[in-house]
Homo-oligomer: A and B are copies of this chain.
Amino acid sequence: MKVKHFLFGRPLSTEALQEEKMPKWMALPILSSDALSSVAYGTESILIALVAYGVAARWFSLPISFVIVVLLFTLIISYRQVINGYPKGGGAYAVAKDNYNPLMSLIACAALLVDYTLTVAVSATAGVAAITSAFPQLVPLIVELSVLGVLLVAFINLRGVREAGTVFAFPTYFFILNILALLIAGLYQIIVRGIPSASIPMPSHIPAGVTLYVLLRAFSSGCSALTGVEAISNATPAFRDPTVKNAKATLLYLGILLFVMFSGTSILANLYGIAPSPTGNPTVLSQIASHLFGNSWLYYSVQISTALVLLLATNTAFSGFPLLASIVAQDGYMPRQFSARGDRLALNFGIAVLSLMSILLIIAFNAKTDALVPLYAIGVFLSFTIAQTGMVKKWMQEKPAGWMSKVFINGLGAVMSFSVVIISLVEKFAAGAWTIAIIIPVLVWIMFKIKEHYLNVARQLKIDIGEEMNLKNTLVIVPVGGINRVVRNSLEYALESNPPEQILAFHVAITKDEEEKFRKKWEAWNTQIRLETFYSRFRSIKSPLLRFIDQIQRRVGDKYEITVVLPIFITKKRWQRILHNQTAYFIEHALLTRKDIILVKVPFHLES
């Protein structure tokens, strides 16, 4: 208990669960670490899809980045409208729940849960890649380091992150500063020395093999750079007044920052003719940084800030997943444990499930970011699509002033997001997207089954408080293994609330001889309780007891409530437990699975 308090802190009372209101300068870094950190792997994902088709093919990363930036601003404008429409936040699930049948909102929920899990896995492995780019001797440990990163963030979240506050703003600003420094250094070099000779010019003709298929695949990989842009709209209520205005402004800043940082790295990668390493080490961002900063402290600063912001992005998923799971659990579509808050008010169950799933992913994919990226984006853009179409429905229903342009904007967002879903599914199907195409429907089906179960339970539990209580007579069965203090305790308990004629002692003998002997001893004891003995050829107590109960139930019908009193040994020390037969445990299990039997456990505490 003391260890627990030391590690996780003292319990918090429920009142402590108050949303803290954030100013913009603090909300921006905390809510956009996921989106901004994508800069660490966005450009690289595009290049990986092109690298097989020669140097000239890599030039196409520029137009592809441009399309992604267009998509980015469409999404930013669309999500500014989501903030308007849903000032209470809640994200895709809330929008879908409000505007659709449960099916659509559960699809959004499943997509988001999968997406959060992938965010953890992708960010942790990309963060480790930033470290190993600077320290290649750590490459053999990438799986261990990624898992360690996840566990660290999980641990912080189990403690409850509330206290961290401003500390969490630091890594994002640090990362922004570093990337901006990189861009300025690049710009300066061009001004001083002109375009580097390594830069890849626009090819005069399309290189062999670079089909539309290849370009679309590179585009869908690059869309991973846009994951996380929805975070601000989800958390609108966390902003200080005027909430909506502040959230919208912050979202715009995010858009501009992401645009500058992402397109800047894409341009720099092109200027230095950088090819992604087949092992993923060093990363493209690390190659750019070492081109510009050599081996100076500035290089290490870029790498460390990248790792930190990615760790913080992991943290975003660790607050998003449990919160969503808790809301959906309250709606009855997920196990209730997801909505129970622990001592520290953290949603422990969700944190544990998220850690476990993402660690399994990291291990299964050997901590390779580029192997995980194909699975990414689909879930994100599926939830974007559902949120945006939900908004379209909302505007068309409510018809506020200027609803036509609102419908157009969200409609455009929806069409573009849906295109990304389709392109990603088709292009990445064989590379792993098929798993997402299976997992999301399966999750939705499971959630419906869970809801069905909870509804069934509620129906079965409902009572009419006007109805009379239905009291039966009780018949108490006390299995007796011998004549000793434990058995006497059980008999005393039975006699305290019941007349002796409603109590039956039950003994199982292994041999006829033993049966006879026990009967004599019992009579000598003179308890006035009737003894029933059974002879068990197969040395089992459980089955004769069940047979005996069967006989009695057949005889007395359901006029009597049957109670079985089981003595339980409680040993003083834990290890002593293995010295006692676990018969009582097996009998308990068998009795509880039968109908209409009440079980009484009379503990006997051994003193040594």
Residues of A near any B CB (own CB < 8 A): 11-15, 335-337, 340-341, 343, 450, 453-454, 456-457, 460-463, 465, 469-474, 483-486, 488, 491-493, 495-498, 510-511, 524-527, 537-539, 561, 563, 568, 570, 576, 578-581, 592-593, 595, 597-603, 605-608
Contact = CB atoms under 8 A, between A and B. Distances in A.
A483 to B, nearest CB: 7
A512 to B, nearest CB: 11
A595 B489 CA distance: 13
B470 A598 contact: no
B527 A469 contact: yes
Contacts of A497: 474, 497-498
A496 B561 contact: yes
A542 to B, nearest CB: 12
A484 B462 contact: yes
A418 B454 CA distance: 71
Given A335-B579, A599-B603, A463 B484 contact: yes
A486 B453 CA distance: 16
Given A336-B579, A485-B461, A496-B473, A14 B598 contact: no
A576 B361 CA distance: 26
Contacts of A496: 471-474, 561
Contacts of A526: 465
A492 B469 contact: yes
Given A13-B537, A471-B492, A603 B608 contact: no
A146 B262 CA distance: 58
B606 A460 contact: yes
A601 B598 contact: yes
A538 B344 CA distance: 9
Given A12-B538, A343-B538, A497-B498, 15 more contacts: A13-B538, A14-B510, A14-B537, A340-B581, A456-B608, A457-B606, A460-B485, A463-B484, A463-B488, A469-B491, A471-B495, A472-B492, A473-B496, A568-B592, A599-B603
Nearest to A343: B538
Contacts of A563: 600
Contacts of A456: 606-608
A493 B561 contact: yes
Q: What 5 A-B pairs have minimum CB-CB distances, sorted nearest first? A: A497-B497, A13-B537, A461-B484, A599-B601, A465-B525
Given A461-B486, A602-B598, A593 B570 contact: yes
Contacts of A493: 561, 598
21 contacts: A11-B538, A12-B538, A13-B537, A336-B580, A336-B581, A457-B606, A460-B607, A461-B484, A462-B484, A463-B488, A465-B525, A469-B492, A470-B492, A471-B495, A474-B497, A493-B561, A570-B592, A598-B601, A598-B602, A598-B603, A600-B600
A486 B462 CA distance: 9
Contact of A579 (B453, B498, B579): B453
A570 B469 CA distance: 22
Contacts of A485: 460-463
Contacts of A602: 598
A245 to B, nearest CB: 33
A570 B588 CA distance: 13
Nearest to A452: B608
Given A460-B485, A471-B492, A473-B496, A603 B597 contact: yes
Contacts of A491: 469
A453 B607 CA distance: 10
Nearest to A498: B497
A354 B573 CA distance: 25
Given A474-B496, A601-B601, A576 B11 contact: no
A498 to B, nearest CB: 6
B527 A453 contact: no
B454 A579 contact: yes
A340 B581 CA distance: 9
A383 B456 CA distance: 65
Nearest to A483: B465
Contacts of A335: 578-579
A215 to B, nearest CB: 45
A600 B598 contact: yes
B474 A579 contact: no
A592 B601 contact: yes
Contact of A600 (B470, B510, B599, B606): B599
Contacts of A593: 570
Nearest to A334: B579
Which of A335, A341, A524, A593 lies at the interface centre, i.e. has the most chain B CB atoms within 10 A of its CB?
A335
A608 B340 CA distance: 24
B341 A576 contact: no
Contacts of A608: 453, 456, 460
Contacts of A599: 600-601, 603
A489 to B, nearest CB: 9
Nearest to A450: B579
A463 B578 CA distance: 25
Contacts of A607: 456, 460
A56 to B, nearest CB: 47
A119 to B, nearest CB: 25
A607 B595 CA distance: 11
A592 B603 CA distance: 6
Nearest to A495: B471
A278 B469 CA distance: 81
Contacts of A570: 592-593
Contacts of A483: 463, 465
